[in-house]
């Protein structure tokens, strides 16, 4: 088997075509190609590394859980159940995984020009040894080879973690999670570092289904009354401490907007009580819900200042935009749509309270690229507590990553950014995603060098910082 | 006469300068250069092809009706009447066409760097044989040559239609139009395919001057009572059927916003009655007008699901922004200005009702580029009924077309887009506009190939799809 | 001393790497490299040129007053007082300037990839003869050399003004300013042209601290009652005439939004009286303040039509976003943040009243790049009175300047733009800023030429227009 023609393995992929610039990009990339992967924000399953069982079939591993894939096929008329996504409460058998794989292969041309294509090509070529892109013609053969490989020890989760060169892998859990798998991983003696991030949305967002029940469980877990304002805050502090003791270094907040508030103690308490009361009765107002989420971001910042957990805010997704599909399949099937997002007014209460604290780190993300140069780079280029998260979700693609650097660097510089986040549940694609990000940073820096905007010796330092030092430092890893 | 130095005819125009990438672009372009033109959305005059008379003089053919041209000269102090645009109700003779042409030639440098310059250079060079760009010095000579050519049979509308390689040309008509010229074209035995698109804004937008009169005419044309909700809808269905029987495959909706509604039957009926009543009295509220337009988009989608007409929505222009000029010259003199446009909340009622129908096609356009990556690519990359219309109006330019691909492809791919629309009344420039779009797609794809993001054999398939197959398929032609 | 390796002096800096395109860029740049500098909008201190004393030390000259520098260091945890920014009402001695310089040098890597780095490198290399970028290792040596040079006659303000090739330098003053330094400069016999621009925000924005006192001073200066609407307007006219007689050719308006109003005489008068009354009582409503600013833009346009002063509007900055820092250090310490800005609705009252006047010039700026292609290029490409100001403040950087051309040229062309503004108080960096802008225009035009979108002979004309003719013409200099 030769891989010489597989584009996913071309040594110059994603580098500029102009030869002198490409040569610079190669030299920069040589500096970072083999650096360990820091993955400080993602959604892989910690159970994989705790039990270290073989992965199942290629379809349930690579396709069904990946909403980048299912949404694209759905947009062209393929039904979600054909892809192994199981409808709520329906008792029909999903298609056999080899059939799902064939459907996927037949629609592989849809991904031309997308980052999913780059990542999948890389996984199939580099991890599983494919020698050309997937087609209907080679679908069955590819499927069988992957099955055979998954059954071998070299393809178990821990072996791949090591093969991929991962130094830290962060997962995301609710305060109600026991972190049992993280505990098991550490108890096992395996040296892989898999840590959690504290994601309290289910006990902060009063519009979450089951919010009151979640508070009750929070109370049960902590032994603190979660229905008084002070108790509620203390319960957060207790769970944050538990997460930190288990290795976590960060929190993560996925609110609909970036709005923050800085209410006085008494107003905050009154708001909390009103929110709990109305959530119980089922007549919560959306205005109260929004204000409560806003206030809680500021409370979380205060706790971060105290316990040192790095705070991440990523607003701006309209979750489950497609109501009929949500009704049938539930969340996370690709119907989350970005919306216009304000940061300047929204973050001001929090930043005026804590933004001048240089021992606090708040990392903010966006799905609204129009805010890069207008709002986020100026804010991150001023407030000591603020750092700019990388191009994210719909934007962690070659063009998206490049626009991020082009539109933020001149105001915020490199050192108010924090390296790359893969933010993925697709474990196999993690190296490909980091590799794309590293290559695009090399491409951006090579252009600066070629145009005499930055000396090459300094670009060599910057590219290492972006790939390794900045994420470690920003996430306190 | 030699054209070797005319930039409009340079074989490599619009291709990247980097030699390896340019070579790829050339190979891609060779695949699509001579493909027939599919023009599924435009504003040419069907009468031209029905009567096939010679075009008049160069000024009234190429300048006065083209608001891209008149607006640029107006912005630099040239008065519209100097350009042959006739003021409402004023009985002054317009300048002689050769004087208009001279004024235009003297201001030709204003178009440097604009697509109008590319299109006009191409028309003058390729259609009329000019050997260098237009200047004051060669204005009279150019004018006379064009006059002489327009008098010859080879420059009549049908001959040019054939010379331009047009396979289908779509015009746009109101439901109140008789489609007499389309009928005459088909009756004539000439094989050119010139079809209409159903554009019901004058009988849907209650803020249109003469809305109630338009409804009366709709009633007269269909024999259906247009002042009952059911009758009004039935009259639409009848006219849509008439348009379809005459060859139309699409509808077209130019609303101020993208707002849609999905009211119940009874609420919709009450709204309609209130709108008609208040329009008659002259006290229509703008809120009711907006809600009615919003509801009608959903009604039109329902009818499209039934009769198979492809639905086009292009919101976001503030029409006739310049009130004094509108008062003197009327509409379409270049004072339409794009506005910030929301799609995520606005389209949701329609999409939640019909967006999951994969037999329905809704093509959505924007004048607000900030929505490409944030809203439109994610929506089109999810909903089966939704396709993304091309860069349009202010954006069907080299940089505009390139930004469209750069900002939409990574999320929506190529196959949720529908090829190019020229959207023009400037018949002579149609081949130039399609050629610019094809070249820019080759430029975009050549970069993907040169950077090893897509194999060249696949890029060759994609470029054919974008130039020919996708518009035919999307518009059901 | 050799400068051969200093990137700030590389002859090809900022030109595209592709050799053929770079060769074109070089030819274009040769045409404009030595053209005089037109600086029609800025914030240097006229006193420098009136008294022509030596500048003080490098820190107070180059660092402390430059909020591009202080904000970046502040964002990474350096305190403003460490940089010589003096807190209000605190009587602590600032650090010695050589210590400030060391702090700065230690943080110089933060500026990698920013325009500040380009400008500072140029100043240190070209003005002060540095042979490599600043580091902690060479900080003291660099500091001493600068000190020695500043003490020599060749480094006094007037000598540098001449060495920099400045033809006109515009400063910005309040109507309450005596223009004594401008008067002194003209009286001195020195031929350097340093003129003011009329910036009436302190007597127009009723939310300015001290607004009523400012009106009183306006009355005292003009001998006109500033508390009647007619007197207030007449006082403006008197001060505008005084500024014009002193050489000024423009006004400048820095409002939070672009909103304009066109109230009737009586409504305007009532509004003015209400604003003054409530400002005196301290209960001014923000709605009245906004409407008053909006109305005054239209009044200023009317006066510009009469007295010929060019009007500049630059909205969209949220001033002093960081309240705690503002409380301690006051304004202009880097906490101004751009906000989303509407132009289409906002400017319409003014444009409908005066936008069709081709003898009026209104130059509009933005900090919201999303408005370039959507709003500003279409407006400037239509209204005769409107011109588009250059990429400004956060956007006068290589990538920012390039995006400006890429997103505005195709709709507005080059001739509805007005060349470059440095908008700076950093006198030493003025040539570097203009040089960056000229190089980027050459880069943009070289691409058009290399892609056969514009003949090179025309590009040579355009680049001269952008560098010299357009700013002179637009600002009536």
Contact A334 B382 (CB under 8 A): yes
Among A7, A113, A400, whose Cβ lies nearest the Cβ of B452? A7
Residues 6+ apart with CB under 8 A from B242: B179
Say if CB A73 and CB A456 are below 8 A apart.
no
Tokens describing residue C163? 């060495």
Residue of chain A whose Cα is closest to the Cα of B23 = A17
Contact C410 B325 (CB under 8 A): no
Give the strand order in the sheet containing C362-364.
C250-253, C310-313, C362-364, C386-388
Tokens 């298609």 belong to residue: A95
Cα separations in angstroms, A32 against A16, A170, A468, C262: 17, 21, 8, 60
The length of chain C is: 477
Among C374, C382, C452, whose Cβ lies nearest the Cβ of B368? C374
B79: confidence class by pLDDT, cuts 50, 70, 90 = very high
Minimal Cα–Cα distance from C15 to chain A, Å? Answer: 6
| pTM to 2 decimal places | 0.97
Say if CB C326 and CB C236 are below 8 A apart.
no
Which residues of B fall within a CB distance of 8 Å from C360? none
CB pairs under 8 A between A and C: 133
Q: Quick: pLDDT tens for C129-141.
A: 999 999 999 999 9
- Orientation of helix A265-281 relative to helix A286-307, angle to 10°: 130
Give the strand order in the sheet containing B166-170.
B37-39, B166-170, B194-195
CA distance A299 to A50: 33
Minimal Cα–Cα distance from C112 to chain A, Å? Answer: 6
Look at residue C2 and tell me whether its pLDDT is greater than 60.
no
Which residues of C fall within a CB distance of 8 Å from A406? 399
Region B388-411: mean pLDDT is: 97
**What does the pLDDT read at residue B65?**
85
CA distance A421 to A170: 10
Which residues of B fall within a CB distance of 8 Å from C409? 113-114, 399
- The chain-wide mean pLDDT, for chain A, equals 96
Region A240-255: mean pLDDT is: 98
DSSP C330-344: -S-SS--EE-----T
Contact A356 C324 (CB under 8 A): yes
Contact A14 B454 (CB under 8 A): no
Contact B13 C452 (CB under 8 A): yes
Among C21, C413, C455, whose Cβ lies nearest the Cβ of B110? C413
Among B15, B368, B369, whose Cβ lies nearest the Cβ of C451? B15
Among C117, C118, C334, whose Cβ lies nearest the Cβ of A382? C334
Say if CB C34 and CB C429 are below 8 A apart.
no
Minimal Cα–Cα distance from C337 to chain A, Å? Answer: 6
Contact A395 B414 (CB under 8 A): no
Say if CB B211 and CB B202 are below 8 A apart.
yes
Minimal Cα–Cα distance from A322 to chain B, Å? Answer: 6
Which residues of A fall within a CB distance of 8 Å from C7? 452-455
Measured from the Cβ of residue A246, the count of other Cβ atoms closer than 10 Å reads: 17
Look at residue A307 and tell me whether its pLDDT is greater than 50.
yes
Residue of chain B whose Cα is closest to the Cα of A9 = B452
Cα separations in angstroms, C124 against A245, B391, C7, C120, C432: 50, 45, 12, 6, 11
B88: confidence class by pLDDT, cuts 50, 70, 90 = confident
Contact A407 C399 (CB under 8 A): yes
Sequence-ordered strand ranges (E) for C43-191: 166-170
Contact B453 A334 (CB under 8 A): no
Q: Which domains does chain B have, with CATH numbers?
A: 7-55+156-474 (3.20.20.140), 56-155 (1.10.2020.10)
For an interface test with A, the pick among C75, C137, C444 (most A C-beta atoms closer than 10 Å) comes out as C75
Residue of chain A whose Cα is closest to the Cα of B461 = A109
Q: Quick: pLDDT tens for B354-389.
A: 999 999 999 999 999 999 999 999 999 999 999 999
Contact C15 A351 (CB under 8 A): no
Cα separations in angstroms, B128 against B43, B157, C315: 22, 14, 47
Return the DSSP state at B87.
P
Give the strand order in the sheet containing A386-388.
A250-253, A310-313, A362-364, A386-388
Which residues of A fall within a CB distance of 8 Å from B453? 7, 13-14, 113, 118, 398
Which residues of B fall within a CB distance of 8 Å from C382? 71, 74-75, 321-322, 334-335, 337
Which residues of B fall within a CB distance of 8 Å from C403? none
Look at residue A4 and tell me whether its pLDDT is greater than 60.
no
Name all chains with 3 or more CB-CB pairs below 8 Å to chain C.
A, B
Among B342, B345, B384, whose Cβ lies nearest the Cβ of A75? B384
Region C333-341: mean pLDDT is: 94
Residue of chain B whose Cα is closest to the Cα of C369 = B370
Which residues of B fall within a CB distance of 8 Å from A394? 373-374, 377-378, 410-411
Q: How far is CA B296 from the centre of its chain?
A: 21
Look at residue C384 and tell me whether its pLDDT is greater than 60.
yes
Contact B74 C384 (CB under 8 A): yes
- The chain-wide mean pLDDT, for chain B, equals 96
Query: Is the model more confident about B196 or about A6?
Result: B196
CA distance B55 to B157: 8
Contact A454 C74 (CB under 8 A): no
Look at residue A2 and tell me whether its pLDDT is greater than 50.
no
Say if CB A223 and CB A284 are below 8 A apart.
no
Contact B322 C18 (CB under 8 A): no
DSSP C86-122: PPTT--PPPPPHHHHHHHHHHTGGGGTTSHHHHHHHH
Which residues of A fall within a CB distance of 8 Å from B406? 399
Minimal Cα–Cα distance from B373 to chain C, Å? Answer: 13
The percent of residues in chain C predicted with pLDDT above 90, rounded, is: 95
Among A370, A381, A452, whose Cβ lies nearest the Cβ of C75? A381
A334: confidence class by pLDDT, cuts 50, 70, 90 = confident
DSSP C390-455: PS-GGG-SHHHHHHHHHHHHHHHTTTTB-------S-GGGHHHHHHHHHHHHHHHHHHHHHTTSS-
Contact C72 A381 (CB under 8 A): yes
Say if CB C455 and CB C449 are below 8 A apart.
yes
Tokens describing residue A89? 């409460």
**What does the pLDDT read at residue C3?**
46
Q: Quick: pLDDT tens for C292-305.
A: 999 999 999 999 99
Minimal Cα–Cα distance from A419 to chain C, Å? Answer: 15
Return the DSSP state at B63.
I
The length of chain B is: 477
Contact C394 A379 (CB under 8 A): no
Phi and psi of C87, rounded to 5°?
-65, 145
Residue of chain C whose Cα is closest to the Cα of A19 = C18
**What does the pLDDT read at residue A90?**
77
Residue of chain B whose Cα is closest to the Cα of A398 = B410
Measured from the Cβ of residue B457, the count of other Cβ atoms closer than 10 Å reads: 9
Q: Quick: pLDDT tens for A218-233.
A: 999 999 999 999 999 9
Which residues of A fall within a CB distance of 8 Å from B339? none
Region B401-411: mean pLDDT is: 98
Look at residue A449 and tell me whether its pLDDT is greater than 60.
yes
Tokens describing residue C284? 């001014």
SS3 C32: helix
Half-sphere exposure of B368 (CA within 13 A, CB side): 24
For an interface test with A, the pick among C10, C15, C83, C113 (most A C-beta atoms closer than 10 Å) comes out as C113
**What does the pLDDT read at residue A221?**
97
Query: Is the model more confident about B94 or about B239?
Result: B239
B3: confidence class by pLDDT, cuts 50, 70, 90 = very low
Among B377, B386, B413, whose Cβ lies nearest the Cβ of A110? B413
Look at residue C65 and tell me whether its pLDDT is greater than 90.
no
Contact C373 B110 (CB under 8 A): no
Contact A415 C110 (CB under 8 A): yes
Contact C12 A452 (CB under 8 A): yes
Say if CB B310 and CB B304 are below 8 A apart.
yes
CA distance B125 to B8: 7
Name all chains with 3 or more CB-CB pairs below 8 Å to chain A.
B, C
Look at residue B1 and tell me whether its pLDDT is greater than 50.
no
Which residues of A fall within a CB distance of 8 Å from C71? 381-382
Look at residue C457 and tell me whether its pLDDT is greater than 90.
yes
Sign of the dihedral through C-alpha C83, C85, C91, C96: positive
Region C45-53: mean pLDDT is: 98
Region C40-66: mean pLDDT is: 95
User: Any idea what the Cα angle at residue C408 is, between residues B85 and A114, rounded to 5°?
Assistant: 120
Look at residue B316 and tell me whether its pLDDT is greater than 60.
yes
Say if CB B210 and CB B288 are below 8 A apart.
no
Minimal Cα–Cα distance from B318 to chain A, Å? Answer: 20
Q: Quick: pLDDT tens for A376-408.
A: 999 999 999 999 999 999 999 999 999 999 999
Look at residue A130 and tell me whether its pLDDT is greater than 50.
yes
């Amino acid at each position: 088997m030769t891989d010489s023609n597989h584009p996913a393995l071309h040594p110059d992929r994603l580098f500029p075509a102009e030869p002198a610039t490409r040569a610079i990009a190669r030299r920069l990339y040589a500096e970072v190609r083999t650096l360990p992967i820091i993955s400080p924000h993602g959604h892989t399953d910690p159970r994989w590394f705790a039990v270290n069982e073989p992965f199942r079939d290629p379809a349930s591993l690579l396709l069904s859980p990946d909403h980048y894939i299912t949404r694209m096929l759905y947009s062209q008329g393929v039904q979600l159940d054909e892809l192994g996504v199981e409808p709520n409460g329906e008792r029909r058998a999903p298609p056999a995984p080899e059939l799902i794989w064939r459907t996927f292969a037949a629609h592989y041309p849809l991904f031309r020009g997308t980052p999913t294509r780059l990542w999948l090509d890389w996984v199939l070529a580099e991890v599983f040894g494919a020698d050309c892109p997937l087609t209907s013609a080679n679908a069955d053969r590819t499927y069988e080879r992957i099955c055979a490989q998954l059954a071998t020890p070299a393809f178990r989760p821990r072996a791949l973690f090591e093969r991929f060169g991962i130094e830290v892998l962060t997962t995301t859990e609710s305060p109600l999670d026991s972190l049992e798998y993280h505990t098991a991983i550490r108890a096992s003696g395996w040296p892989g570092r898999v840590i959690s991030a504290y994601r309290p949305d289910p006990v902060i967002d009063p519009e979450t289904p089951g919010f009151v029940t979640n508070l009750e469980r929070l109370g049960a877990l902590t032994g603190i009354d979660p229905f008084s304002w002070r108790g509620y805050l203390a319960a957060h502090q207790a769970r944050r401490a538990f997460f930190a003791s288990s290795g976590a270094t960060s929190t993560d907040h996925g609110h609909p907007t970036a709005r923050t508030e800085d209410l006085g103690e008494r107003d905050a308490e009154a708001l909390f009580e009103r929110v709990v009361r109305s959530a119980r009765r089922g007549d919560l107002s959306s205005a109260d819900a929004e204000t409560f989420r806003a206030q809680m971001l500021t409370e979380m910042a205060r706790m971060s200042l105290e316990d040192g957990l790095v705070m991440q805010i990523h607003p701006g997704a309209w979750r489950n935009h497609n109501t009929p599909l949500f009704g049938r399949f539930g969340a996370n099937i690709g119907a989350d749509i970005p919306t216009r997002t304000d940061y300047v007014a929204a973050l001001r209460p929090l930043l005026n309270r804590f933004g001048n604290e240089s021992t606090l780190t708040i990392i903010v993300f966006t799905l609204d690229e129009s805010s890069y140069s207008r709002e986020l780079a100026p804010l991150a280029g001023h407030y000591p507590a603020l750092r700019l998260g990388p191009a994210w979700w719909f934007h962690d693609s070659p063009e998206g990553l490049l626009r991020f650097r082009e539109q933020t660097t001149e105001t915020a510089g490199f050192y108010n950014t924090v390296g790359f986040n893969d933010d993925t549940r697709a474990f196999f694609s993690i190296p490909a995603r980091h590799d794309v990000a590293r290559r695009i940073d090399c491409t951006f820096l090579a252009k600066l060098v070629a145009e005499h905007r930055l000396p090459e010796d300094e670009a060599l330092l910057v590219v290492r910082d972006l790939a390794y030092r900045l994420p470690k430092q920003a996430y306190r890893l």
